[in-house]
Structure formats: structure tokens, C-alpha cells
Amino acid sequence: MAEKTIDLQHSNFPWLRLEQKFQFELEDSFYWFLSNLQIHRFSFEHDPNENITKTLFVWLPYNEWSVREQETLVQSLTSLAKTFHLTLPPCKWIEVKDEDWSLSWKKSWKPDPVGKSILILPAWLDVPEKFLERKIIRLDPGSAFGTGSHASTRLCIEALDNNPPVGQVIADIGCGSGILSLTALKLGAKSTFSVDIDPLAISATKINFALNDFSENLLNVFLGSIEKIESNMPRKKIDLVLCNILAPVIKLIGPSFEKIIGHKGKVILSGLLVEQTQEIQEFFLPLGWKVLEIKRKDQWALMVLTLDLP
């Protein structure tokens, strides 16, 4: 429960900010929950030196959220945590002046090395000298999920880093901030077809693409899901599908992977809890797929699939 619930009817501040510490594995669930509520003014703060918790910030208009609605929001976050057998610490409600909510969280975001050769760099910072040899991905994620800090995203980046997709055509389903598309391109991919059902994610992907000075023909980005890739991809099919989304969505679109994948192509699935890997394997086996590899980080897992062709 919150340390203090503010009576918005008597507040002289235009914004109310919720600050909630939480464990890393809850980020996906919190993101989807807030997005489904049409709450878009939120961010996740992460210190790369601290690998256990993050902080969720949510900015709410003071005249639109009653005391009861505040309490309901906190209770919903608490209930989500309980499904993972986790407990949230007390949150804070803070009255704030009219500020640019999308900028205020940037103060504590730091350069973040991932894998052997990648550096996720806030777009507003210079490259630290000790990271000059790394491949730099400049990122301004806005309100779209994907700063590279979440275990499922790091698993994907590390998989790409360990087996660079040189010359390959990539599909990025649920592209978020575009971080996986950008990583693939930095590691030598020929082109990417990136889709997301969230217009904010599409906007963020385009912005981040521009920040990294790629040739315009390398990125193809569409609002939608796998059907947009199928209708827009080149005659040569996709070599590698990146799909960092939750297990129920993976099962929903999984039967369509075969429509876009090329001969000997691979699919990288992330966003899976370790306990869901058996379920996902059993789902894809009758569809003609075989598992090449499973990687784990914290409570999250990554799975690499390919069609089991004779």
C-alpha cells in the first residue's frame, strides 16, 4: 500500500507521480498492464550496477484520479506481483509541478554494456572512453518498452552478439523501442522488418533508427503484427525472427511463423518465464519446429527454434 494517498481534489499541483520499487521480472507485466489501461506517462528506471530491483514512475493528471482510483492502481500492481510470488515494498505518491515527465527520468539512466560488444547508450550522453571499442546503440526509448535492461531483452541481445546475423533479413515482432532491430543491424544484418501493435512503439523505433545513422533502406517498420511482415517482406523470406513478447502472444502468432521463415531460418523467442519453456516446446513441436537452444537469465528464458525439415 502507498505511504501516502493524496486527495487530488485539494491539490495545487497539476501532476501526481507514483514511485514503486519492484523486482526485475515484473517489468513486462507492469508494462502491459499500464498500456492496457491507456496510461502512457510511465517509465522504468534502472541502475546497471543494481541487478535486483527497478523503479516504476507513473505520472497522472491530478484532476483525473480520485483517492479510490489511486488505491485501486496500487492494489492491481500488488496483485500482479503476487502472481509471481513476489511482494512489493510500499510505494510513494508525490505531488509534482508541471514538468516534462518524459525527460525527468533521464537523469539517472547510464551507459549499459551488454554481451561482448554492445553498448546501449542514452542518446543524450557521450560515449565513455572505456567503451569506445563497442558497437554503440543510441537509444531514446520514450514510453515504449525496451531500454535493454530487462533480462529477456538482454538474452536476445546476447544471442545476437554471440551469433551475429551478418547478411540476414530480420523480422522483429513486438519491436518496442526498436532495440533488437538496431542491434541486429549493428551486427551486420542486411535489413529488418519491425512491427508492433503500439503506435508509440512505432514512433520510438523510427526515432531511435534516426539516432543511429543507418541507411534508410535498412529498416522497414509497420504498425501491426506478423501479417504486416508477411505482406511486405521481400521475395526472399526472413532468415531470423526475433520475438521478445509474452508467452500467450507467442502462442497466438506462432502458427504463422512458418509463413515468413526462409529455408534453415531460425526463430528466437524471449519474454518467457523459465517455467513456461516446456509448455512452449510442446506447443511448437506439433507445428513442425525443433528446439536448438535454451538460455536462461534470472527467471527468464530464451529459446531458439528452427523448422524440423527432412
How far apart are alpha carbons 255 and 248 in whole angstroms? 13
Count Cβ neighbours within 10 Å for each residue of 67-95 and write b for 16 or more, e otherwise. eeebeebbeebeebbeeeeeebeebebee
pTM for the model stands at 0.75
Beta bridge partners of 19: 57, 92
Output the CA torsion sign for 199, 151, 277, 274: negative
How far apart are alpha carbons 125 and 130 in whole angstroms? 14
Give the pLDDT of the chain (310 residues) as one tens digit per residue: 344 444 444 445 678 889 999 988 788 788 778 876 777 677 777 766 666 788 888 888 878 888 889 999 999 999 989 988 899 999 999 887 766 555 565 665 789 999 999 999 988 889 999 999 999 999 875 544 567 777 888 999 999 999 999 999 999 999 988 999 999 999 999 999 999 988 878 888 999 999 998 988 899 999 999 999 999 988 889 999 999 988 888 999 999 999 999 999 999 999 898 989 999 999 999 999 999 999 998 778 999 999 987 7
- The 3-state DSSP class for residue 293 equals strand
Closest C-alpha to 309, from 258, 269, 264: 264
Give me the phi and psi of 44, to 5 degrees please. Answer: -115, 125
First and final CA of the chain: distance in angstroms?
A: 57
Burial classification of residue 193, based on how many CB atoms lie within 10 Å of its CB (0-12 exposed, 13-18 middle, 19 or more buried): buried
| Residue-level pLDDT at 110 | 82
| Residue-level pLDDT at 37 | 77
| Residue-level pLDDT at 43 | 77
Closest C-alpha to 301, from 231, 239, 250, 263: 250
Burial classification of residue 47, based on how many CB atoms lie within 10 Å of its CB (0-12 exposed, 13-18 middle, 19 or more buried): middle
| Domains along the chain with CATH numbers | 8-107 (3.30.70.120), 145-307 (3.40.50.150)
| Residue-level pLDDT at 11 | 47
